[in-house]
Amino acid sequence: MTTQQAPPEKTDAETVIRTENVTKRFGGLVAVDSVDMHVDHGEIVGLIGPNGAGKSTLFNCITGTLPADEGHIHLRDEEITGWPEHRIAGAGLGRMFQQTRVYREMSVRENLIASAQRNNRFLAQFRRPDEATLDRADELLAYVDLDGLADVRAGRMSFGQQKLLEFAMALMADPEILLMDEPAGGINPSMIEQLLDYIRETNTEEDVTILLIEHNMDFVMEIADRIYALAHGERIAEGTPEEIQSDERVLDAYLGRE
Ligand code: ADP
Ligand code: MG
């Protein structure tokens, strides 16, 4: 008699981020409404939805920028609900904002070094950046093709170049997962191709799991393994790019048919 083995269960060990029933209200407005989602190790997951759907607010809850009103958030097997932002960042979660947050008056290289010290302000007062930090900064500058601009003030670069700098800044801390809020927003088409390559390479070669919000549908359909769609704070769909593209609720949300 052969005993049939149950297939191995997919364990939570593979899940990097999980939200359960996350809700965020601003006064009477429910900006994020009981959202469940998860991102597994190695995935590139897209988060889409019309303007005001609650995408950035959900990011803010995950990163600890805003406290969620309800629900639970896990990073790996640790519950991070209510943790301060710097502690979540220190635990391996990197983030890029919708508006770039480079230090405009600092040089490009100084921006990278500052970002490495941002999570360790106390030590940064006493220590010069170590060799490893300087080497990593130069390595990342070369990677995003900004090494020729290392000593230029960041504020003098184009918006697209500032986005690449911010991408490199987020990688300084070697995050396990990187949350990107509309990385392709406002940058020109030739740079979008470059950015697609960088994100893919970072995912495969640096082993960084990616969760990204994107307004540019071609971009997100091309890069994401899996997509969540939000509308009015609610999760309305989840699936592969193909599934999402033909999902009635997603089409309705985008065309404003309801
Ligand atoms: P998205 O990123 O999907 O465009 P947001 O998360 O920025 O949407 O916003 C979701 C809703 O919450 C919108 O109606 C927005 O006006 C509102 N909102 C976002 N942030 C705040 C805030 N700090 N205070 C009040 N309302 C906010
Ligand atoms: Mg937003």
Q: What is the per-residue pLDDT across 134-166, written as a single tens digit (0 to 9) for each?
A: 999 999 999 999 999 999 999 999 999 999 999
Atom of ligand 1 lying closest to residue 59 CA: 6
CATH code (residue 21): 3.40.50.300
Is the residue at 56 inside a domain? yes
Is the residue at 74 inside a domain? yes
Is the residue at 3 inside a domain? no
Is the residue at 214 inside a domain? yes
Atom of ligand 1 lying closest to residue 233 CA: 10
Is the residue at 136 inside a domain? no
User: Pocket residues for ligand 1 (CB within 6 Å)?
Assistant: 26, 29, 31, 49, 51-57
- 């989840």: which residue's tokens? 238
- Domain around 85: 15-92+178-186+209-258
Rounded-to-integer distance, Cα 218 and Cα 232, Å: 22
- pTM higher than 0.85: yes
The alpha carbon of 26 and the centre of ligand 1 are apart by a number of angstroms equal to 8
Ligand 1, atom 27: nearest CA belongs to which residue?
26
Beta strand residue intervals within the chain, DSSP E: 15-26, 29-40, 44-48, 70-75, 78-79, 93-96, 177-181, 209-213, 226-231, 234-239
The alpha carbon of 56 and the centre of ligand 1 are apart by a number of angstroms equal to 7
Ligand 1, atom 7: nearest CA belongs to which residue?
56
Q: Give the number of the ligand closest to the Cα of residue 99.
A: 2
The alpha carbon of 69 and the centre of ligand 2 are apart by a number of angstroms equal to 19
pLDDT 10s digits, 39-96: 999 999 999 999 999 999 999 999 999 999 999 999 999 999 999 999 999 999 999 9
2 has a pLDDT exceeding 50: no
Orientation angle between helical segments 131-143 and 108-117, nearest 10 degrees: 130
Percent of the chain with pLDDT over 70: 90
The alpha carbon of 55 and the centre of ligand 1 are apart by a number of angstroms equal to 8
CA Rg, the chain, in Å?
19
Q: Token pair for residue 56?
A: 């950035």
Ligand 1, atom 21: nearest CA belongs to which residue?
26
Atom of ligand 1 lying closest to residue 66 CA: 23
Q: Token pair for residue 174?
A: 């070697």
Domains held by the chain: number:
1
Q: Who contacts 45 (Cβ-Cβ below 8 Å, separation ≥6)?
A: 37, 39, 210, 211, 212, 224, 225, 226, 227, 228
Is the residue at 200 inside a domain? no
Atom of ligand 1 lying closest to residue 54 CA: 6
Give residue 30's pLDDT band: very low, low, confident or very high (50, 70, 90). very high
